Amino acid sequence: MTDLDVAIDLLVDKERLLVFTGAGVSTESGIPDFRGPNGVWTKVDPSEFTFDKYVTRPETRRRSWQMRTDSGIFEAKPNAAHRALVDLWVAGLLVGVVTQNIDGLHQAAGLPDDVVVELHGNVRAVECLECDASWPTGQVVKRVEAGESDPHCPDCGGIIKVSVISFGQAMPQQEVEKASRLARGCDAIISIGSTLSVYPAAYVPIEAQEAGAAYLIINQGPTEQDHLADVVLEGAAGEVLPTIVVGLT
């Protein structure tokens, strides 16, 4: 029996699957991860992009907007892993996807907004930190591409920021509570494409496992929770996950 067979056998009688996704799900769509060998944080110092520095330093904001514009995230399309999760949802087996990703590709693939719990926000919206006005990010990117390196709110002149959680910002409480409810209520948790090293987000699979859920990890490389999982599968999300979904549906 292969590890893949063992994983399918682990999940085959489960009816309330919760999925936890990290950057490894989106790298196959051309979006670089953060902590991998060629990740974003190997090229820039993450301590330069804290929330406090974003608010107080124009240079940090200029670099942040340029990084967003150059990232390719707005052109990215869902891949086979995203589509497999939609298949799982259509089959009635998926209770939700809790994600660390900010790209909106789960929804672009076809998952309803209320099925996706975005612990770190979503890059596709921009909000004013002072008057709460908001816009699609594409509108602001056009301003940056036109030469406005540190765009401000056109209504009040305040600092604007993509709706993504920065270092030093708390995760959105409503999303945290929803993730916790889903973790306590699922009968299996699948972590895909995450090193499970970023907390408090990585507590979600732990909470599910401690509540009695079966635990499967799919990742390229080791994670910090391999010792907790019932099965660990090494491989690309877009290759492993569709095979599992076919085995379950």
Residue 176 and residue 199 in contact, taking contact as beta carbons nearer than 8 Å:
no
Name the catalytic one among 106, 120, 152, 227.
Answer: 120
Q: Mutual orientation of helices 237-248 and 3-11 as an angle, nearest 10°?
A: 50
Residues 6+ apart with CB under 8 A from 29: 76, 77, 78, 79, 82, 103, 105
Residue 191 and residue 216 in contact, taking contact as beta carbons nearer than 8 Å:
yes
User: Which tokens is 209 given?
Assistant: 């496992």
User: Is residue 136 reached through a cis peptide bond, with omega within 30 degrees of 0 on the bond before it?
Assistant: no
User: Which tokens is 20 given?
Assistant: 């936890």
Residue 40 and residue 34 in contact, taking contact as beta carbons nearer than 8 Å:
yes
120 is an active site residue: yes
Positions marked catalytic: 120
